[in-house]
Structures are given as C-alpha cells and as structure tokens.
Structure 1
Amino acid sequence: MPPLDLIDRKIVATLMADATTPIAQIADRVGLSQTPCWKRIQKLEANGVLTGRVALADPAMLGFGLTVFVGIEAPDHGTEWREAFARAIDALPEVMEAWRMAGDIDYLLRVAVPDMAAYDRFYRALTDAVAIKNVTSQFAMERLRHTTAYPVNTRDR
C-alpha cells in the first residue's frame, strides 16, 4: 500500500482522537465533501489502516485498579509451546496486551485486575495452563500518560 496522503493522515488522526466524530465534521476538517470523505474512511478500513472503532474506559472506574506488566521467559521456543502459550493467554481476559519481545524476556503482558488477590488467581491460572521458565511481575503505581492515538503527521511533508 502506498504511503497515506495528507488527507488520509488527517482523517486517521481525527478518528484516533475521537471515533464518534461525525462524517460532516471530519470532511470539513480535511477539506472534502461528505461522500468522498466517507469513501476514504471505507478504503482506510478495507486496507487495514483503520482496524476498529472502540470506546475507551477508565480501568479504575470499572474496578480494575491494578495494572501489572508481566515478563515471561519461555522454557523453549518451539511451535508447540508458542501455540499453547497463545491459547493460554487468549483464555485469560485479564491480559490486555501481549507482546513477543527481543531481549531479556520473551513475552511481555499487560494485565488488568482489581487487586493483588485477583492477580494471584491470574498468575496461578497462567502457570497452571502452560509451562513457564520464569515470570517477573512489575506493578504499576501510577499511569502518567496513556494514548491509543499514534503521532500521525498531519502537516504537509
């Protein structure tokens, strides 16, 4: 896919900031009429640039007061273990993000739970589901910054 032009970047930036922005308002911001703007949004979705539209929620307001970053060291790197691990984390709704890493740990999970007791239950469920060489847990004390919007360049290059 060719790089996004300025209009597409502005559309994407607007939707990342607020996916409920009306088409008329987006079109006005990017200098298009509504129909061409809507067609561009549909094309961005079809090409996989826009992958979904969601509502963001405050985890604490939903009872998820503890965020834990969990480092996983795999006992081996074979296909069978990787598939078992993927199934295990898919079955644990507390896992908000999972990343395969390079460096000291093999996988990094962001886990949201109500409290330490809930994290202990999560830990036991994860380690019962799949063999793990080592688990390290880092407990977040304060979220200083959070965004889901990538810093898309919305200026002429």
Structure 2
Amino acid sequence: MKPPAKLLNRSVKPALDRIDLLILDALRANGRITYQALSEQVGLSARPCLERVRRLEQRGVIRGYTALAEPSALGHDIIALAGISMRDPSAAARQRLERALTASPAVVEIQVVNGEYDYVARIVAPTLAAYEAMTEAYLSDPGYGVGRIHTTFVLKTLKPFDGYPVAAGA
C-alpha cells in the first residue's frame, strides 16, 4: 500500500546547511529585516542571500511571514486549550468536524493527536460565554461526532509561541 503523498512530503527533510540555518534564525528573530542587513548578518552578498531565501520559500521551509499580535489587544480575553474526543470516529464525522474547526477563526491552532483525545485545539474567545456557546455547538450537533471537550484555560502565558527553534536539537 502506497502512503498518502502528504505523509511522504513530511518525511522528506530538506537539507539545510549552516547558512540556511543562519538565515532562518535571523528571519525568525526579525521577519522585517532587509535583505541587505540579512546578507551582512549571515556573511553573504545580497543577491545569493535573496536566492537562498527564495529557495527556502519555494521548498516550503519558510511557510510565510506574519506579525505576532497580543491576543488581548484583539479582544481575545479567553485562550483555551481544548482536548476533543470523538464519540463517532467515522471518516464522515471527522471530515465534517475538521472542516468546521479549520474554518473557524476562533480556532487558531489544531493538532490531530493520539492518546486520550483525538484533537487538541487552541481556541480564543472574547468571553467565557462565547467560548461555551462555540463548544456547545460542536457537542450538540451529532454530525460532528464529538463526545467530549476537555478545556484548560490559560491563566498566564510565560512563554508565547514565536516560532520553531532553528538550531538542531534545540
């Protein structure tokens, strides 16, 4: 049986040399750095540096660029980590739930996991009532097949996610 293409792509790791890692580390620290400043920081001239960045983008190593906003400044006073367990693990129920979760702007991150839960999601909401209404909608619709949502509310963030570490083994 041939594995799905998505799995094949994940298992093939692009070879990254020292300069690529320096570029990634610099862009992770400051995504708005100019190519001139980036090239000076990594020890290349501007043109080869730009070519390397474009190659990293084309290969999918660099997925994109973004600004990291403070959740409360955007009205997201509730941040929840939700463990979602399926009651109905059929493919149809999973697909329907996954489409709904990925389409919801309140679901800012979702992982398919093994163990006690089938999914773990990071969900933001302006109020506890809004969060409760959203989760109740998933629980009450039998088409989603959700059996349980276990919620842990974030009280304080000690270290916010700001990207994956670049250095090997970090």
TM-score, reference length from structure 2: 0.85
* Amino acid corresponding to residue 17 of structure 1 in structure 2: A
Q: CA RMSD for the aligned pairs?
A: 1.5
Is the Cα contact below 8 Å between 2:88 and 2:145 reproduced in 1? no
CA distance in 1, matches of 2:113, 2:148: 14
Residue 134 (structure 1) aligned with residue 136 (structure 2): no
Partner of 1:99: 111
Is the Cα contact below 8 Å between 2:94 and 2:145 reproduced in 1? no
Deviation at 1:83, TM superposition (A): 0.6
Aligned residues: 154
Residue 7 (structure 1) aligned with residue 54 (structure 2): no
Structure 2 unpaired stretches of 5+: 1-12
* Amino acid corresponding to residue 4 of structure 1 in structure 2: L
Partner of 2:73: 61
Deviation at 1:78, TM superposition (A): 2.6
Partner of 2:85: 73
Partner of 1:24: 36
Is the Cα contact below 8 Å between 1:89 and 1:126 reproduced in 2? no
Deviation at 1:135, TM superposition (A): 1.1
CA distance in 1, matches of 2:163, 2:25: 7
Partner of 2:51: 39
Higher relative contact order (CA 8 A, sep 6+): 1
The CA deviation string for residues 95-138 of structure 1, in whole angstroms up to 9 with x for no partner, is 01011111111110100111101111211232345221111111
Structure 1 unpaired stretches of 5+: none
TM-score, reference length from structure 1: 0.91
Residue 149 (structure 1) aligned with residue 170 (structure 2): no
